[in-house]
Amino acid sequence: MIEVAGELSSPQADVWALVSEPYHLPDWWPAYRGVRPDRRGVGENARWLVQRSPSPGFLRKPGGEGVIVIRRVVPGVELGWHDVAQGIDAGVRLEGVGSGRTKATAYVDGSWWRLRVEGAARLPRLAISRLHDLCQTAAEL
């Protein structure tokens, strides 16, 4: 498992509101550029249709569609999913650290070749960077 943590300048409830909104997933998770959740929304076993990013992978063409299954929902704390075609588990955990700040830990787990060869190992770092940018922008308003 690869995990990357970062501190965000927003309260945990605000960060959760961002990460738990299905249509915001492509804003902070770099592997997707679009999402269409099923009627269950953010609920365990929900199935979301995702539009993949335009960058190609070793065994996948750019763009394309896939399905993710929401595997773990702990309101305010964790959102985790399984990318069916890619065979990886991914998600984010949140922890309040006081003073209206949040520690976010993005993670990805799967076979070594998916993580290394396909480039999935970089996803947590990019996700934390995007979350930081989104929260920093909101804090400055």
pLDDT of residue 55: 66
Instruction: Provide the edge-to-edge strand list for the sheet that holds 2-8.
Output: 2-8, 102-109, 88-96, 78-83, 65-74, 47-52, 32-36
Structure tokens at 7: 């501190």
Confidence of residue 85 (pLDDT cuts 50, 70, 90): confident
Average pLDDT of span 18-31: 95
pLDDT per position as a tens digit, 44-63: 999 999 998 776 554 556 67
pTM for the model stands at 0.89
pLDDT of residue 136: 83
Strand bridging mode 65-74 / 88-96: unpaired
CA-closest candidate to residue 42, choices 91, 13, 75: 75
Which residues are paired to 5 by β-bridges?
Answer: 105
Domains of the chain: 2-30+73-140 (3.30.530.20)
pLDDT of residue 125: 96
pLDDT of residue 139: 55
Instruction: Evaluate whether 136 touches 18 at the Cβ level (below 8 Å).
Output: no
